[in-house]
Structure 1
Amino acid sequence: MPQFESFGLKGGVWRGHLNAPKGAPARVVLVQHGAVLAEARLTDEGDDSWLVEVDLPPEVLGEGIQTLLLKADSGASGDEATHPDGHVLDRLTLMAGRMLDDDLTAEIAALRAELELVKRELRRFAAGMAAG
């Protein structure tokens, strides 16, 4: 199974190192919501290792949270569909814009509510154990 180590995102290019003992995958693609956005460039570094570089298209940058997948599969170059035999190498989460503040505030409020529920149940459990 191929192993990917991300070097991060810089200048709109996501870079990383792919180690694939069985050889390079037919293609490595950037996927969002099941659609192929871009195909990565693989540079052979020897010893079953490749430098992976993929340009992020401008349309992925927008308000809120975007999740991108880097996926290796057996598809042909230029084929727009992802293949079921594919393997997700890594995920990249992008957060931007004013909506982000609202998203994070809502998420924090939900986490606080869940924490209060857990605390209440633990107290109820502890009181039951002390009484019993």
Structure 2
Amino acid sequence: MDTISLTQTRIRAGVWEGILTGGGPQPPKIEVLLLERALPGVTLAPVPGRPGDYALRVPIPADVLNEGVQTFLIRAADQTLAHFTIVTGVAMEDDLRAEIDLLRAELDMLKRAFRRHCLETMG
């Protein structure tokens, strides 16, 4: 896979949007996770006139927005490309809880990958 990067362009009308660059002729399989659950409706479309670039759209379902911090991880081939955080409810003094939430999500993914690796190498 080519080296790919993802740049957020905006969040509008409940849809996170970004541009994926370096995707090559075939778009990579993208998944967006919240609490280890993949979100539905994620789309990746070629950007006209820019080969290898794709427009990513992530609809944010209303039912996932709850009091507190929600951190969404955007991944391709077990690589985290980007993340975005939505804070709802009472305003926080700083963004520390969002960073802790991101660390927890990354740690959970590392634990799963390590367990999978152990199973594969033992069997």
TM-score range relative to shorter protein: 0.5 to 0.7
When Rg is computed on C-alpha atoms for both structures, the one with the higher figure is: 1
Structure 2: any 5+ residue segments left out of the alignment? 97-123
**Distance between the aligned counterparts of 2:16 and 2:58, measured in 1?**
5
Structure 1: give runs of 5+ residues left out of the alignment.
74-85, 108-132
Sequence identity (%): 23
Aligned position for 1:44: 46
Paired residues in the alignment total 90
Aligned counterpart for 2:57 among listed residues 32, 36, 53? 53
In structure 2, how many angstroms separate the alpha carbons of the residues matched to 1:88 and 1:12?
22
Alignment partner, residue 79 of structure 2: 87
- Do the aligned residues in 1 keep the contact of 2:23 with 2:54 (CA within 8 Å)? no
Match in the other structure for 1:24: 27
How far apart are residue 33 of structure 1 and its match?
Answer: 1.8
| RMSD over aligned Cα atoms | 1.9
Deviation at 1:53, TM superposition (A): 0.6
Kindly report structure 1 stretches of 4+ aligned residues shifted beyond 2 Å.
20-23
How big is the shift at 1:92?
A: 0.6
In structure 1, C-alpha distance between the alignment counterparts of 2:22 and 2:11, rounded to whole Å: 22
Paired residue type of 1:53: R
1:42: how far off? Answer: 1.1
